[in-house]
Amino acid sequence: MKISKSKRIEEAVFKVLMWVAMGIVFAFVFSVIWTIFSRGVKAMSWDMITKLPGGGFYIGKEGGFLNAIVGSLYIVGASTLIGLLVSIPVVFYLNVYRKKGSRLAYVARLAFDVLFGMPSIVYGAFGFTIMVYFGLRASLLGGIIVITLLIIPIFIRSMDEASRNFPRDILDASYALGATRWETLRVVVRQIAPGIATATLLSIGRAIGDAASVMFTAGYTDSIPTSLSQPAATLPLAVFFQLSSPIPEVQDRAYAAALVLTIIVLILSIGGRFITNRFSKNKL
Amino acid sequence: MVKNRIVKDRLAQGVMFSLTIVAILFVVVMAIGLYLKSSPVLEGRSLFSLLTSSVWKPMKGEFGFLPFIVGTLWVTFLAILISFPISFLTAIYLTEYARPVVRKFVFPALDILAALPSVIYGVWGMLVIVPWISNHVAPHFMEFSSGYTVLAAGIVLGVMVIPLLVSLFIEVFTSVPAELREASLALGATRWQTTKKVVLRKTLAGVLAAVVLAISRAMGETIAVLMVCGCVIGIPTNILESCYPIPALIANNYGEMLSMPLYESALMFAALILFAVVLIFNLLSRIILYRIESREE
Span B30-82, pLDDT tens digits? 999 999 988 888 887 788 888 888 888 877 778 888 889 999 999 999 999 99
If asked whether residues B38 and B140 sit together in one domain, one would say no
pLDDT of residue A59: 66
Residues of A in contact with B121 (CB under 8 A): 32
Higher pLDDT, A54 or B78: B78
Q: Which of A105, A121, A122, A201 is nearest to A158 (CA)?
A: A201
> For the ranges A7-11, A257-261, B132-136, B253-257, which has the lowest average pLDDT?
B253-257
Mean pLDDT of B196-217: 91
Question: Coil, strand or helix: which one is B243?
Answer: strand
- When scoring A5, A121, A265 by the number of chain B Cβ atoms within 10 A, the one with the most, hence best to mutate, is A121
Contact assignment for B17 to A97 by CB distance below 8 Å = yes
A263 or B55, which is more confident? A263
Best CA proximity match to B278, nearest among A106, A115, A212, A214: A115
Is B13 close to A113, i.e. CB distance below 8 A? no
Chain A partners within 8 Å of B251 (Cβ): 121, 124, 212, 215
Which architecture, in CATH terms, is A50-282? Orthogonal Bundle (1.10)
Say how many domains are in chain B.
2
Higher pLDDT, B216 or B62: B216
Please answer yes or no on whether A22 and B90 come within 8 Å at the CB atom: yes
Nearest CA to B123 among A240, A69, A124, A178?
A: A240
* Structural domain containing residue B10: 2-44
B227-281: pLDDT as tens digits? 888 888 888 888 888 888 989 988 888 766 566 778 888 888 999 999 999 999 9
Judge if B265 and B123 occupy the same domain. Answer: yes
Question: Which of A39, A90, A152 is nearest residue B127 as measured by Cβ atoms?
Answer: A39
User: Are residues B7 and B110 both part of a single domain?
Assistant: no
Task: Tell me, yes or no, if A165 comes closer than 8 A to chain B by beta carbon.
Answer: no
From A79's Cα to the closest Cα of chain B, the distance in A is 16
A239 in B contact zone (CB under 8 Å): yes
- Check whether residue B32 and residue B101 sit in a common domain: no
pTM for the whole thing?
0.90
Q: Which of residues 76-95 of A touch B (CB under 8 A)?
A: 86, 89-90, 92-94
Q: What is the pLDDT of residue B89?
A: 94
pLDDT, position A146: 92
Cβ atoms of B175 and B140 closer than 8 Å: no
CA distance B65 to chain A (A): 17
Separation in Å, CA B105 to CA A201, A230, B98, B99, B100 = 20, 44, 11, 11, 9
| B225 and B186 co-located in one domain | yes
| Model confidence at B85: pLDDT above 80 | yes
Let me know whether B59 and B22 are in one domain: no
Say if A115 is an interface residue toward chain B (CB within 8 Å): yes
Q: What is the pLDDT of residue A283?
A: 46
Question: How many Å apart are CA B51 and CA B66, to the nearest integer?
Answer: 6
- Is B36 in the same domain as B55? no
Candidate from B128, B192, B283 with C-beta closest to A11: B192
Domain CATH number, residue B107: 1.10.3720.10
The Cα of B12 is separated from the nearest Cα of chain A by a number of Å equal to 7
Q: Is A246 within 8 Å of chain B by CB?
A: no
B156 and B263 assigned to the same domain = yes
Same domain, B137 and B250: yes
Of A110, A121, A254, the CB nearest to B250: A121
pLDDT at residue B210 greater than cutoff 60: yes
**Chain A nearest-CA residue for B84:** A21
Q: Which residues of A touch B37 (CB under 8 A)?
A: 129
A132 against B155, higher pLDDT: B155
Please say whether the beta carbons of A217 and A142 come within 8 A.
yes
Please say whether the beta carbons of A39 and A197 come within 8 A.
no
The more confident residue out of A204 and A135 is: A204
Task: Check whether residue B269 and residue B146 sit in a common domain.
Answer: yes
**A113 or B260, which is more confident:** A113
Asked if B271's CB is within 8 angstroms of A126's CB, the reply is: yes
Contacts of A240 (CB under 8 A, 6+ apart): A211, A254, B119, B122, B223, B227
CA distance, residue B81 to nearest chain A CA (Å):
13
pLDDT on residue A208: 92
Q: How far is A62 from chain B, CA to nearest CA, in Å? A: 23
Query: How far apart are the C-alpha atoms of B206 and B214, rounded to whole Å?
Result: 12
Q: Across the interface, do B247 and A119 touch by the CB < 8 Å criterion?
A: yes
Residues A142 and A137: their CA atoms lie apart, in Å, by 8
Regarding whether B146 and B22 lie in a shared domain, the answer is no
Q: Determine, for residues B23 and A152 on separate chains, whether the beta-carbon distance falls below 8 Å.
A: yes
Question: How many beta carbons lie within 10 A of that of residue A124, not counting itself?
Answer: 28
A137 part of contact set with chain B, CB < 8 Å: no
Residues 6+ apart with CB under 8 A from B185: B191, B194
